[in-house]
Structure 1
């Protein structure tokens, strides 16, 4: 019987790093410069040939606007941060999360109405 080795704790890190780098529009060289590394290190991380230190994970996470846990695959909390690239919009949504349920419904109603009006204008060619 073939022995199955346990899944590494940071499985998916290389792919996640590359995906985030591309989503943010950074080349390997640009990301490396922002983190204080040589571009070859980013390539090694993305191939899974090397693992960054805790300090470098923190710096990578800061530059990519996610948590170190998300970068390592330990949480899904930052999924919205990856999908919402506009930092101002993300900050607004973070503030909306703090509102009462009633106020959240008002914001949702407003956004629904705004988007519906916009779609209607597009349909009539304005």
Structure 2
């Protein structure tokens, strides 16, 4: 784990509007320890890092910097992983449906803002 971990931990915790103490309580440690992780003074074990990722609702890969994509939502990441396991034909069909739905959603959003 690196400085990237420290920065991501701090950023995600703040994005979730959690204090160090609140996050610490979720994983069974102290706010001071979370502070040490955020400053890079101390590195958590893989088990603790996994607990932190779960508490923050992000993947462990994202938290420790193994994933460069900004997929913070665990449900979305799971769906992307499933897409990688299906045939190209099925994947293309799903993506076409998704593109069509997203285009409609954007149009509806734009129309509702104009009204």
The TM-score bracket by the shorter chain reads: 0.7 to 0.9
Partner residue of 1:47 out of 39, 47, 53 = 39
Name the TM-score, length of structure 1 as normaliser: 0.68
- Kept in 2, the 8 Å contact 1:45–1:51? The answer is yes
Give the deviation of 1:31 after TM superposition: 1.0
Aligned twin of 1:3: none
How far off is 1:56 after superposition? 2.1
Q: Which secondary structure state, in structure 2, belongs to the residue aligned with residue 81 of structure 1? A: coil
Aligned partner of 2:20 in structure 1 is 28
* Number of residue-to-residue matches in the alignment: 112
5 Å-filtered alignment, 1:86-125, equals 87-125=74-112
Matched with 2:51 is 59
Unaligned runs of 5+ in 2: none
Matched, 1:81 2:71: yes
CA distance in 2, matches of 1:122, 1:12: 36
C-alpha change, 1:111 and 1:43, in structure 2 (3 Å) is same
Structure 1 or 2: more helix by fraction: 2
Contact 2:3–2:40 (CA under 8 A) maintained in structure 1 = no
Runs of 4+ in 1 over 6 A off after TM superposition: none
Secondary structure of the structure 2 residue equivalent to 1:121: helix
TM-score by length of 2: 0.72
